[in-house]
Amino acid sequence: MVADLADRSFPCRRSPVMAAVVLASSLLAAGCAAPARPASPPQPATATATSEDPVEWLLSRMTLAEKVGQMTQPDLESIQPAEVTELHIGSVLSGGNSDPEAGNSMEAWTDMYDRYQRAALASRLGTPILYGVDAVHGHSNVVGAVVFPHNIGLGATRNPGLVRRIAEVTGKEMRATGVQWTFSPAVSVPRDERWGRTYEGFSEDPALVSELGAAAVLGYQRGDLGHPLAVLATAKHYLGDGGTVPGTSTFGDSRGLDQGDMRLSEDEMRRIHLHPYRAAVDAGVGSVMPSYSSWNGHKMSGDRYLLTSVLKGELGFEGFLISDYNAIQQLHHDFKTAIAKSVNAGMDMAMVPSAYRDYIRLLIELVEEGGVPMSRIDDAVRRILRVKDAMGLLDPDGSYLADRSLQASFGSPEHREVAREAVRQSLVLLKNERGTLPLARNARIHVAGVAADDIGIQSGGWTISWQGQPGDITTGGTTILEGIRAAAGTAGAVTYSEYWTDVRGADAIVVVIGEAPYAEGVGDRMDLSLDTGQVALVRRMADTGIPVVVVLISGRPLLIDDALELSDAFVAAWLPGTEGAGVADVLFGDHRPTGRLSFTWPRSMSQLPLNLGDDRYDPLFPFGYGLRY
C-alpha cells in the first residue's frame, strides 16, 4: 500500500544509505544487525545525519540543482552516463525505440543499466536512479524476453490471479537486467476501438479494468516495493485517455483519437474513467502517468484540479507523477511557461527525453524567480525519494546494480508456460458450427495466412520496437503454425501456405488473419473493416467445402461479418505474444475455451462508439460473450 511508502522509514533490513554511520547505533538499539556499507559508492559527503529518515536527511542536504535533477528523466538515446552524475539525474528511460548501443540483448541491457546506475552512484549524494521502460506485456523491448498477450487479451481471461502472476514474471525478467520501473499497467478504459491504443486496455468496463489493473500493480510491486523482485508500477494515462473523441487528436492523423479531447461531464468522467485509479492507488501503485489527452479542452498534464486535488488529495495517492514523453511541451509554446504550469499542477517528475538541460535550467530559474514555490519542489522530491527508499534504493546494503543471478530464468520455459496459459485463457470462441472445433489430432490440417507464421504480427506493437513490426523479430517463442505442428505431432499432417493453394485432401483449414502491428497514433483508424485480400482468402478456402476455422489476430474488435459468415468456427485471439502454442492448445481441445469478450463487438462503424450499458445496444456480440466446448 502507498501508506507503506510513508511508513517504512526503517524496517530492520533497510536503512538510509546516507546516514549509515550514525544510523548503525539506532538500528542496533532496535535489535537489528548493523548494515554492511557498500563496497563501492556511494558515501555521504558528511556522515553527521540528524534525522533517522533517509528521505528527510537527503532533502535537507540537497541543493536546488540536485532536487531538480531528481525530478528529471532523460532518454537513454540522448543522455550520457557522465551527465547523469553531473546533473544528479533522478531517472533515465528507454522509450519504445531506445535500446543500448551494444544491441538489444539481455546482456547489453544489463551492462547499460549498470553503467547508468554507477554514474548516478558517483554523483555528490550518490542517489540511485530509477530506470524506466514500457514493459507493457513482458520486458518486451529485450530480445529473448517472454512476451505476454496484450491487455485486451488478459481482459478476456477475467483472471486477476493470472494477471498478477504475469506481472510478477515480467518484473523478474526486468530485474534480471537491472531495470526496476515499468510504465504499466495501462488502466485506460477504451470506449472507442477506432483508438489505436485500445489493446493496451483490459476492457471497456471500468469495474473489470479496476480489478485487473489492481492485480497487475500487486504483481509488479509484489505487494511490497521492498521485495527484491518488485518493480515500480505506473498506472496510466491519467485520466480518460480512452475517452477521447475522433478528430481531436494532437498526434499524427488529424481524424484520430490519440492524445485527443475527452468531452464528458465530471460525473461521467468519474463514473467511467476514475475508478481504476482508485483501485490502483488502493493497491499501492507508486507512480501515475498523466495523459497527453485533454478534458474539455484542458490538457491533463497541466490540470491542477485533477492531478493534485483529485488524485493526490481525494484518492490519497502518495507516490509520484511522471509526465508522458515530451507531454509538458504541449502545455505552452514557451517551455518555461509549460514547465511552471505542469509542476504547479502537481507533476513530480518530467519525462524530457532530450530537453533535460533546458528543463533543469528553466525550473531552477522559475524557483529563484518565485514562479514555482520551493514547497512544491520539496513535495515532488520527497515523493520520488520515498518511493526510492521503499524500494531499498537508499539502503547502504541495497542492491543497486543488476542481480545477474536472475538471468538464468530470463525467457525460461517456466515463464513461457505462464504466457502460454494466458494465451489459452484469452481466446474467445465466437462461432463453432458443424462441430468444427476441437480439431482431431490425427486430422489433415491446412494452415493458411501470413499471420499464421509470424511472431511479429502475433505480438503487435510495443514489441522489440515501439510500433512493433511483422516478420521474424528475432525474439524467441512459437508461432501459431509452429504450435499447431507441435500439437498435431506425428499423428496428423499439417501443411501451410501464406496465400491460396490447392487444399484438396485436407480435413480442416485454419486461416489466420488480422491486423499488422501498430502502436499509439499510427493505429487510429476510422474504418475497421478486414483487409479484402484476407477475406478473399477465407472465401476461397470456404468454397472448397472443407470446414474452415478463422483465427483473428487483432488489437480490437474488427468488422468481421463476411469472414464470420464464411467460417465454420471463429476464434478471436487478440495479440497473443510469443507463445502461439497456446492457440493450438485450445484448437485441439487440450484446454477448453473459456475467454469472454471484455469489449462489445460492433456490427458496423456507424455504431461506434458502442459500449455495455448504452441505451441502444445491438452489437454483433455483446460484452461477456464467449462459446465453450
The set of catalytic residues is 324
Indicate the residue type of 197: R
Instruction: Give least dist CB 351 to ligand BGC, A.
Output: 7
All three cell numbers of 581, joined, read: 502454442
Instruction: Give least dist CB 462 to ligand BGC, A.
Output: 9
Among 53, 99, 134, 421, binds ligand BGC (CB under 6 A): 134
Instruction: Give least dist CB 591 to ligand BGC, A.
Output: 32
* Tally of residues, the chain: 629
Give me the helix-helix angle, 374-390 and 54-61, nearest 10°: 140
Element holding 160 (H helix, E strand): helix 160-176
Binding mask 170-209 for ligand BGC (x = CB under 6 A): -------------x--------------------------
Of 220 and 325, nearer to ligand BGC (C-beta) is 325
Q: Give phi and psi for 432, each to the nearest 5.
A: -155, 95
Of 94 and 611, nearer to ligand BGC (C-beta) is 94
Sign of CA dihedral 307, 311, 313, 314: positive
Within 213-272, the residues that bind ligand BGC by CB under 6 A are: 236
Of 359 and 588, nearer to ligand BGC (C-beta) is 359
Of 241 and 318, nearer to ligand BGC (C-beta) is 241
All three cell numbers of 89, joined, read: 539525474
- How far from 598 is each of 153, 158, 595, CA to CA, in Å? 8, 8, 9
Instruction: Give least dist CB 134 to ligand BGC, A.
Output: 5
Instruction: Give least dist CB 171 to ligand BGC, A.
Output: 16
Instruction: Give least dist CB 235 to ligand BGC, A.
Output: 11
Q: Does 286 bind ligand BGC (CB under 6 A)?
A: no
Q: Does 96 bind ligand BGC (CB under 6 A)?
A: yes
Of 149 and 226, nearer to ligand BGC (C-beta) is 149
- How far from 98 is each of 1, 117, 353, 465, CA to CA, in Å? 32, 17, 10, 8
Q: Does 99 bind ligand BGC (CB under 6 A)?
A: no
Instruction: Give least dist CB 96 to ligand BGC, A.
Output: 5
Site for ligand BGC (CB under 6 A): how many residues? 8
Find the residue with minimal CB distance to ligand BGC.
183
Task: Answer whether 381's CB lies under 8 Å from 347's CB.
Answer: no
Residue 160: strand pairing partners: none
Of 99 and 568, nearer to ligand BGC (C-beta) is 99
Q: What is the chain's percent helix, strand, coil content, to nearest 5?
A: 40, 15, 50
Which residue reads 546482456 in cell numbers?
A: 107
Which of 325, 284, 344, 380 is CA-nearest to residue 183? 325
Residue 264: strand pairing partners: none
Of 319 and 626, nearer to ligand BGC (C-beta) is 319
Within 512-541, the residues that bind ligand BGC by CB under 6 A are: 520
Give me the helix-helix angle, 356-369 and 335-345, nearest 10°: 70
Sign of CA dihedral 86, 87, 91, 92: negative
Within 322-341, the residues that bind ligand BGC by CB under 6 A are: 324-325
d(CA 599, CA 202): 9
Q: Which residues sit at the interface with ligand BGC, rule CB under 6 A?
A: 95-96, 134, 183, 236, 324-325, 520
